[in-house]
């Protein structure tokens, strides 16, 4: 039985239906509000506005729940691989063995980047941020790989092409930025192992592939694969609503992810730790500074916009982080400072009472640094992981029978109508 919410405005009373999700979430359907009353809603940041119906990801910030297609993310992190999780997000179900083999084969077949694209990398200024380069290169892919004629083939090939080549392009940009020879993908290596090898293998020092490190990268990318209607995902859906190609939509998502309040948060954690080391600040110093109301200082990597309890991804990556640091036995003052900061925050009453726990960005920054990933590549690593989610969200929006081009309203607060004045009368 459908529930309704009554709206009384002047002498009008209207009823708006309540939509109930499978997990009990409720939303008021306001699609007829303006037509019936002349009113629109105002919701800065869209924090109380649902933009779509989706079957991809469920999250509950109050309870600390995150599930992909109904499967808890902790189960995927423990048992799955990034490639299998990507298939799950994009296709809606875990693959059977043959389906996974076919998907993995397509990823291998599409792993090479057109040789002409290397010329683009050579012509970016040396100081260019990798995210700006990646966004540009993904947008350029449409020129190198035009649309196919068969719709289903187009989606499958374009999907695997993006997932495979974005990893190759990221490693290629790193190698070129250092003046090193580009390392090509190998057909005998898994997705994550291939990336690590393309990043760190050199003619003078062959890269040793460690199963635990490969597993850590799998977990990192699984945890970042989707996160409901966040800033970058919304950008992908909004751009895609104009019926543009997938490359352009993903390029927009990469640009949105670039910001320090979104994908750049893990980079901001390391930069904060570097600043602490440079200025001789202890963990207790910055914690007290963060609690001070008279300062705008923000402790990066703690708390979350959505999760009002412990970030479920943080629990998983913390275990992997501890394992990697223990195995690699890295003597890094920044990593030692991070552990000190974590311990101090977890013992501080203010942080505990306000649910300001270390989030996934805090631990992911540490683990990426331990793996040898340059700080300016952290957000690129996030983008590679988030790609399957973006593709799944774009695909779902394209198949939505109630599709509408995104066109938010506004409340105009500017000057009322006035006449134009010639320049000499102003």
By annotation, the residues acting in catalysis are 304, 361
HSE, CB side, 13 Å, CA atoms: give it for residue 180.
18
- Burial of residue 203 (number of CB atoms within 10 Å: 0-12, 13-18, 19+): exposed
Q: Which residue has the tokens 């079957």?
A: 55
Spatial separation of the C-alpha atoms in residues 207 and 205, rounded to whole Å: 6
Spatial separation of the C-alpha atoms in residues 339 and 102, rounded to whole Å: 42
Q: Which residues of 123-151 are buried (b: 16+ CB within 10 A; e: fewer)?
A: ebeeeeebbebbbebbbbbbeebeeeeee
Q: 403 is written with which tokens?
A: 């599709």
How is 344-384 classified by DSSP, letter by letter? HHHH-HHHHHTT--B-HHHHHHHHHHHHT--GGGHHHHHHH
Adjacency order of strands within the sheet including 3-9: 3-9, 12-20, 26-28
Beta strand segments in 243-394, E: none
Type and span of the H or E element at 14? strand 12-20
Q: Which residues contact 26 (CB under 8 A, 6 or more apart)?
A: 3, 18, 19, 20
Query: How far is residue 70 from each of residues 22, 76, 81, 97, measured CA to CA in Å?
Result: 10, 11, 17, 20
Spatial separation of the C-alpha atoms in residues 23 and 63, rounded to whole Å: 12
Q: 2 is written with which tokens?
A: 């459908």
The alpha carbon of residue 114 and the mean position of all alpha carbons in its chain are separated, in whole angstroms, by 26
3-state secondary structure of 115: coil
């Amino acid at each position: 039985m459908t529930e309704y919410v009554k709206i009384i405005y002047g002498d009008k009373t209207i009823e708006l239906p309540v939509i109930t999700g499978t997990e009990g979430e409720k939303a008021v359907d306001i699609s007829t509000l303006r037509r019936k009353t002349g009113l629109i809603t105002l919701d800065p940041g869209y924090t109380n506005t649902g933009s779509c119906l989706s079957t991809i990801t469920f999250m509950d910030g109050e309870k600390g729940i995150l599930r992909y297609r109904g499967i808890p993310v902790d189960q995927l992190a423990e048992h799955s691989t990034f490639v299998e999780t990507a298939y799950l997000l994009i296709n809606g179900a875990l693959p059977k063995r043959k389906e996974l083999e076919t998907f993995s084969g397509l990823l291998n077949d599409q792993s090479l980047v057109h040789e002409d694209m290397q010329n683009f990398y050579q012509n970016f200024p040396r100081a260019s941020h990798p995210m700006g380069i990646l966004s540009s290169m993904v947008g350029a892919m449409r020129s190198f790989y035009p649309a196919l004629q068969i719709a289903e083939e187009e989606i499958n090939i374009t999907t695997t092409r993006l997932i495979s080549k974005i990893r190759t392009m990221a490693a290629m940009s790193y190698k070129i930025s250092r003046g090193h020879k580009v390392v090509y993908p190998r057909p005998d290596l898994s997705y994550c192992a291939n990336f690590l090898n393309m990043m760190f293998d050199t003619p003078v020092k062959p890269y040793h592939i460690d199963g635990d490190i490969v597993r850590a990268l799998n977990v990192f990318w699984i945890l970042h694969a989707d996160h409901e209607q966040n800033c970058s995902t919304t950008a992908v859906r909004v751009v895609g609503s104009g019926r543009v190609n997938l490359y352009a939509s993903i390029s927009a998502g990469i640009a949105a992810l670039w910001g320090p309040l979104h994908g750049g948060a893990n980079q901001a954690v390391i930069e904060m730790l570097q600043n602490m080391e440079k200025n001789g600040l202890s963990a207790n110093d910055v914690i007290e500074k963060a609690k001070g109301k008279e300062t705008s200082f923000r402790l990066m990597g703690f708390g979350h916009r959505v999760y009002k309890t412990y970030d479920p991804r943080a629990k998983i990556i913390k275990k992997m982080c501890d394992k990697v640091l223990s195995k690699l036995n890295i003597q890094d003052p920044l990593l030692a400072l991070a552990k000190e900061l974590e311990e101090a925050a977890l013992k501080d009453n203010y942080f505990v009472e306000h649910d300001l726990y270390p989030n996934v960005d805090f631990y992911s920054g540490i683990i990426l640094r331990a793996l040898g990933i340059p700080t300016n590549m952290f957000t690129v690593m996030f983008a590679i992981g988030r790609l399957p989610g973006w593709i799944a969200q774009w695909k779902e929006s394209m198949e939505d029978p109630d599709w509408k081009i995104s066109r938010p309203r506004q409340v105009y607060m500017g000057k009322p109508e006035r006449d134009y004045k010639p320049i000499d009368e102003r």
